[in-house]
Structure 1
Amino acid sequence: MKPFATPEAAPTAIGHSTNLVGVPMDFLAHAGFNDQPVPLHISGVREMNPALFEMLSLAADLAEAGEAFTCYMMAMFGIDPEQREEGRGNGQRRYRSSFLRLIKGWGYDSNGPEGAVLKGWVESRFGIFPTFHKAPIRQISSRTWTTYVEEKMSSRFHNNAIYVQLDLLYEFCQWAFGRFVAPGASHLTLYRGVNSFEEHQIIERIDKHNVLLRLNNLTSFSSDRDIAGCFGDTILTAKIPVPKVAFFNTLLATHPLKGESEYLVIGGECRVHASYF
């Protein structure tokens, strides 16, 4: 497929009028935010978890901070291995949803149920609607949207304050950037391989290789251009604002996305450079 095939008209509604990060959604989802990003914080998360950030402040490096974060999450949400073992006497496994399970599911299929929950979290906290889930979402009154809503609200993943877990993960991610990973940095150069623009809506063609896209509300990028090339013959290169990174591959010592140098990026409008691998 040619990089800039004519898209269908993008929907006018791109999100809710409110969110939990204190920045107007129209600005947050606009390319202007990417040009001049401001720090983002999910309301109340740091204030309600002072013990976590006190622990993090004592960490000597990212590995130590990641260990502290993991211990805190295990204690708060009971998702350590012992509490996932067989139930007492009934032979049934007790299941408690966890952010790690969602990330693992995203790694297998970003359009699966776990992907819907993650996109639902972005919609809830940042106010940005998804543009794709199994198929392009062109309007809310559609079967595609209904499928997304059914999957994002599945009780299978909402039995353990899963959005609160993701809130903490986002805030830890942002803390880690500011403390250890990229202090003072406003943007990261990231890459995404695609074979078509079905998942992302073309808003404007700037020139032969540059285009303004509306990214899905949560999108995978890679910090490694060669790895991105494994997922499509067109490479999108983007300057991603640090506040729009929800998770990255070296944040925690053990997780299922480490081998792909993957970053989970909150969507909205984004200028990208497209080139053939």
Structure 2
Amino acid sequence: METHKASLPRDARLPINRCNLPAVVLGSLTFQRYPTPLLLDGVAELHRDLFRRLADAAPGERGNVFRDYVTVLFQLEWPEEMGLTGKQKGRAKANYVRMIRGWSFDSDSREGAVLKGWVESRFGLMPRWHGQPLLDPAGEAYSRYMEMRCQGLYGTSALEAQFDLVYTYCQYELAQRHPGASHVTLYRGVNRVADHEILQRGEGGHYTILLNNLNSFTCSRERACEFGDYILAVDIPLSKIFFYCGLLPGVLQGEDEFLVVGGVVDVTLSTT
């Protein structure tokens, strides 16, 4: 299959982002095949103490170290310390845990809009779908997505900065648990591949597609079979994984779910 002709469309990326590679590179097929670490601007430098604590902790305690650090840093259990009073205190519950759980229930929800907006901001990859296609930034669908994103961010304790730490911690754990690995094969159940943006068709069920800027996959092919008549199998760079079931016990329940940053990818389509 001649995949070299397919690249990240111009309208699927921003000219700037907040990490060490531009969107046109990290969203490309070349990156899928030859990934490198993605470093969010300033996170490692600003939070050296967290990663020192993680390095000193036993493997089974690192999740608790992370939770405690984020809880204290963002005053998640003390909304009055953030200046919230009365009914405003309810917004303190809109933290990284609530957003990830909300995504798991419905990726087109307000929580989903916030997470897609974070990917747009940090990696420069534009969302392509939120309840309906988002192909026109001046259109009604994109305005609706932006309204949901703003509503989800309003009155929170630096929610996108919380996501920065979640992603960076996820990358730390993946490096500790899978030293030297660069990819993991993940699966997605679909009813038809035409629901995705197809950039190129090949033979034997091979396609090049453009993923949404954030996506749910599973590491279990059997689990993916429950969500569609066809299975997409994709070699996902570890550096594209934002979160996965088991990273922080109790956040995601079941389905062996992985939240994956998008871009152009080669996939293999097969029947269940």
Give yes or no for TM over 0.5: yes
Q: Which residue of 2 aligns with 1:232?
A: 228
| More helix as a share of residues | 2
Match of 2:122 in 1: 125
Pair 1:274–1:18, CA change in 2 (3 A): same
> Closer, same or farther in 2 for the Cα pair 1:53/1:143, shift >3 Å?
same
Residue 193 of structure 1 corresponds to 189
Over the residues paired in the alignment, what is the CA RMSD in angstroms?
2.1
Q: Is 119-128 or 189-198 further displaced after alignment?
A: 189-198
Q: Which of residues 226, 245, 259 is equivalent to 1:264?
A: 259
- Secondary structure at the counterpart of residue 140 of structure 1: coil
Residues 89 and 251 of structure 1, relative CA distance in 2, 3 Å threshold: closer
How far does residue 128 in structure 1 lie from its aligned partner after superposition? 0.2
Amino acid at match of 1:162: L
| Inter-partner Cα distance in structure 2 for 1:64 and 1:206 | 46
The amino acid across from 1:49 in the alignment is: H
1:77-109 superposed Cα distances (whole Å, 9 cap, x missing partner):
2224x769xxx9968853312000101110110
Find the residue that maps to 2:127 and give its secondary structure.
coil
Q: Distance in 2 between matches of 1:260 and 1:246?
A: 16
State the secondary structure of the residue aligned to 1:260: coil
Distance 2:245 2:74 in 1: 22
Partner in structure 2 of residue 221 of structure 1:
217
Q: Please state how far the C-alpha of 1:198 moved relative to its aligned partner.
A: 5.8
Gaps of 5+ in 2: 1-7
Unaligned segments of structure 1, at least 5 residues: 1-9
Within a 5 Å distance, the mapping from 1:56-205 to structure 2 comes to 56-61=54-59, 63-80=60-77, 94-96=90-92, 97-154=94-151, 157=154, 159-179=156-176, 181-197=177-193, 200-205=196-201
Please state if 1:15 is matched with 2:10: no
Residues in 2 aligned to 1:145 and 1:198: alpha-carbon distance in whole angstroms: 21
Contact 1:117-1:157 at 8 Å conserved across structures = no
What is the CA-CA distance between 1:54 and the residue it aligns to? 0.9
Q: Give the residue type in structure 2 aligned to 1:121.
A: W
- The worse-fitting range, judged by mean Cα deviation, of 115-124 and 25-34 is 25-34
Measured after TM superposition, the shift of residue 258 of structure 1 is 3.0
| Alignment deviations for residues 141-173 of structure 1 (CA, whole Å, 9 cap, x no partner) | 211111111111115555210000000000000
> Is the contact made by 1:237 and 1:272 (CA closer than 8 Å) also made in structure 2?
yes
Cα distance change on mapping 1:133 and 1:94 into 2, 3 Å? closer
TM-score normalised by structure 1 residue count: 0.88
- Cα 1:155–1:185, aligned 2, differ >3 Å: closer, same or farther? closer
Residue 242 of structure 1 pairs with residue 238 of structure 2: yes
The 3 A distance-change label for structure 1 pair 165 and 156 is: closer
Q: Which amino acid aligns with 1:126?
A: F
Q: Which segment is superposed worse, 19-28 or 241-250?
A: 19-28
**1:24 CA displacement:** 2.0
Counterpart-to-counterpart distance in 2, 1:169 and 1:91: 27
Q: Residues 134 and 75 (structure 1 numbering): CA distance in 2 closer, same or farther, change over 3 Å?
A: same
Contact kept in structure 2, 1:21 and 1:43, CA below 8 Å: yes
Instruction: Give the 3-state SS of the residue equivalent to 1:264 in structure 2.
Output: strand
Aligned to 1:4: none
SS in structure 2 opposite 1:153? helix
Q: AA paired with 1:217?
A: N
